């Protein structure tokens, strides 16, 4: 199975900050990388797929990059509604594993 | 608008069984790849099972292989998860998910609200 490792596990930041979350795959995943945002008590929401394609309706302050085994999610200017937990997920081979999550908290 | 609605969760004793259902609307269900994902309380997401559009192909995570069975009924626009030999570590919110806007099983743009399964004596 492909292991997905996110860093950091938690980050504190302020409104307006730029935040970057990293996701590393244990082997190459051909850019089959998705990012999700989850708020407490809610289902995850797709933000980015194909490593860098923004899902319809997601604000442009979110961006994704990377290839091969290392990927990043960047939020360019944090807004109050961005405080949540973020997960990466690979979709290149079964099982389609998730990272362990990164909790983004208000500083 | 795509809607996925899970049902069937509840409290069950270790070793017991439960059958989850997910009713889909707003998409061409017979063309859709369906996946079950779970989340233990306070923990991360775990991909657990997939079924192809025609039920030809199913895949399971090692953690549930041999105990859980995924199936679907395209006439009823529904996907199911039969869970047998349940363990305490199966306690989680169970989500069904799909990629309604894209022909892929590799990511999920549509999720249900989840149904809670609790395994405890």
**pLDDT score at A27:** 97
Size of interface A-B (CB pairs under 8 A): 61
In a mutational test of the B interface, the residue from A34, A96, A103 whose CB has the highest number of chain B CBs within 10 Å is A96
Mean pLDDT of chain A: 97
Give the pLDDT of residue B102: 86
CA dihedral B88, B90, B92, B97 (to 10 degrees): -170
Do A88 and A96 contact (CB within 8 A), yes or no?
no
Whether A53 and A40 have beta carbons less than 8 Å apart is answered as no
For an interface test with A, give the residue of B39, B106, B113 to mutate (most A CBs within 10 A).
B106
Provide the pLDDT confidence category of residue A24 given band limits of 50, 70 and 90.
very high
B9-59: per-residue pLDDT in tens?
999 999 999 999 999 999 999 999 999 999 999 999 999 999 999 999 999
- The alpha carbon dihedral of B60, A54, A41, B110 has a sign of negative
Distance CA B28, CA B98 (A): 11
When pLDDT is averaged across residues A29-44 and rounded to a whole number, the result is 97
Q: What is the mean pLDDT of residues B78-87?
A: 98
**DSSP secondary structure code for residue B92 in this structure:** E
* Of residues A38, A46, A94, nearest to B108 (C-beta): A46
| Chain B CB contacts of A95 below 8 Å | 47-48, 59-62
Q: What is the pLDDT of residue B104?
A: 87
CA closest to B115 among chain A residues: A43
Residue of B nearest to A57 (CA): B109
pLDDT greater than 90 at residue A4: yes
Do residues B24 and B2 make contact, with C-beta atoms less than 8 angstroms apart?
yes
> Is residue B78 pLDDT above 90, yes or no?
yes
pLDDT at B7 over 90: yes
pLDDT for the residue numbered A32: 96
Mean pLDDT of B86-102: 96
CB contact under 8 A, A49 and B111: no
pLDDT at B101: 84
Out of A43-57, B31-45, B99-113, which region has the weakest mean confidence (pLDDT)? B99-113
Average pLDDT over residues B63-85: 98
Contact B72, B13 (CB under 8 A): no
Q: Is B112 on the interface with A (CB under 8 A)?
A: yes
A54 in contact with chain B, both atoms CB, cutoff 8 A: no
Minimum CA–CA partner of A58 in chain B = B109
Check pLDDT > 90 for residue B103: no
pLDDT of the residue at A8: 98
């Amino acid at each position: 199975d492909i292991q997905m490792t996110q860093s950091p596990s938690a980050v504190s930041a302020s409104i307006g900050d730029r935040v970057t979350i990293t996701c590393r795959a244990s082997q190459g995943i051909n850019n089959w990388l998705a990012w999700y945002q989850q708020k407490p008590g809610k289902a995850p929401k797709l933000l980015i797929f194909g490593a860098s394609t923004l899902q319809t309706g997601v604000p442009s302050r979110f961006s994704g990059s990377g290839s091969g085994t290392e990927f990043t999610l960047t939020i360019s200017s944090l807004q109050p509604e961005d405080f949540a937990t973020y997960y990466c997920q690979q979709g290149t081979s079964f099982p389609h594993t998730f990272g362990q999550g990164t909790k983004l908290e208000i500083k | 608008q795509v809607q996925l609605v899970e049902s069937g969760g509840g409290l069950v004793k270790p070793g017991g069984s439960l059958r989850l259902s997910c009713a889909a609307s707003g998409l061409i269900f017979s063309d859709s790849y369906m996946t079950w994902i779970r989340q233990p309380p306070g923990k991360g997401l775990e991909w657990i099972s997939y079924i192809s559009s025609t039920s030809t192909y199913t895949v399971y995570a090692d953690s549930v292989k041999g105990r859980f069975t995924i199936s679907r009924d395209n006439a009823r626009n529904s996907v199911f998860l039969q869970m047998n030999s349940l363990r305490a570590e199966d306690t989680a919110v169970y989500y069904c998910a799909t990629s309604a806007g894209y022909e892929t099983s590799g990511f999920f743009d549509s999720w249900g609200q989840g149904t809670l399964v609790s395994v405890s004596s």
